[in-house]
Amino acid sequence: MRKIPTDQLPINADGSAFHIHIKPEELADRVVMMGDPERVPVVAAHFDSIEFDRQSREFRTITGVYHGKRITAISHGIGCDNIDIVMNELDALANIDFETRQVRADFRPLTLVRIGTCGGLQPFCPIGSYIVSEISMGMDGLIYFYANHESIIEKALAEKFVSHTQWSPVAAIPYFVRSDASLVEQIGFDMLRGITISANGFYGPQGRHVRLALQQPDLNSRIESFDFEGLKIANYEMESAALAGLSRLMGHRAMTACLVIAGRYAGDMNTNYKGSFDELITKVLDRI
């Protein structure tokens, strides 16, 4: 059996995962994820009890119990590159023996729900609404670095999107991945659903023009008009595609639910969204 070398899976001297600094026994089977480390204690404020609270860089983790369910709340920072770090380390905590550095014989599946904020791209996605990412599109190209990615990506969808948007040939080819269907129904049965774009930046990649000109100024209008078998692109955020893709390759259940705080179609934004976000937290904790 393969022993995973130190440079492939760094483990800290205290037996914790290198970046997120938690140990295998500290990880719950249910994981709630968010980008901002300041949102982790907001989630944990709902817990009935807390086991530990730890922070390393942008990765803050609190594991506790909510209505009899052991849950880990963890921040992953911004971007699909951070999801690559967090997902690989969470999977290692669940499925690698940190003493022998070998894969455990019994697979331990995780249920992961990312809660975040996003920009709505359609008239039916106004500020204050909740959107579940039924399918996510990655601009970053991350999933192409992993073997067997062909088994999880929606190739026909990607080809139609590239053609419709006249996607730049110098950009990474977009990849589309479905979230876990049963988890989408479990968490988001009363929420809006659609295709979510995980952008590889907040400004230019999401069509924001501040001082630098955009290479394709009309890209958002092309994205808004895209339709695939009745599915529309509903929103922009920055992590759901990597989460969905890596989770499916690893065998975990994962999905993303977001609160719309920016109306990209209407051109408005709400920065005072804490009450609505706390309601989304409660829904996810109740349903996970």
Alpha-carbon distance 176 to 199, whole Å? 12
pLDDT, mean of residues 74-96: 98
Structure letter (DSSP) for residue 24 = G
Q: Helices 80-95 and 240-250 sit at what angle, rounded to 10 degrees?
A: 30
pLDDT, mean of residues 195-215: 94
* pLDDT band of 1, cuts 50, 70, 90: confident
Q: What token pair was written down for 272?
A: 């005072």
Contacts of 265 (CB under 8 A, 6+ apart): 120, 121, 122, 123, 125, 224
**287 neighbors 71 (Cβ within 8 angstroms):** no
Long-range CB pairs of 266-275, under 8 A, 24+ apart, other chains included? 266/123, 266/126, 266/127, 268/127, 269/127, 270/127, 270/128, 273/117, 273/128
Q: What token pair was written down for 253?
A: 């259940």
DSSP letters spanning 98-165: TTTTEE-SS----EEEEEEEEEE-STTS-TT-EEEEEEEEESS-GGGGSTTGGGTB-HHHHHHHHHHH
Specify the pLDDT at position 116.
Answer: 94
For residue 64, pLDDT beyond 80: yes
Q: pLDDT per residue over 260-278, tens digit each?
A: 987 665 666 666 566 689 9
**pLDDT mean across residues, the chain:** 94
**72 neighbors 231 (Cβ within 8 angstroms):** no
Structure letter (DSSP) for residue 48 = S
Q: pLDDT per residue over 241-260, tens digit each?
A: 999 999 999 999 999 999 99
Q: pLDDT per residue over 7-27, tens digit each?
A: 999 999 999 999 999 999 999
Specify the pLDDT at position 262.
Answer: 79
- Listed residue (193, 200, 151) closest to 174, CA to CA: 200
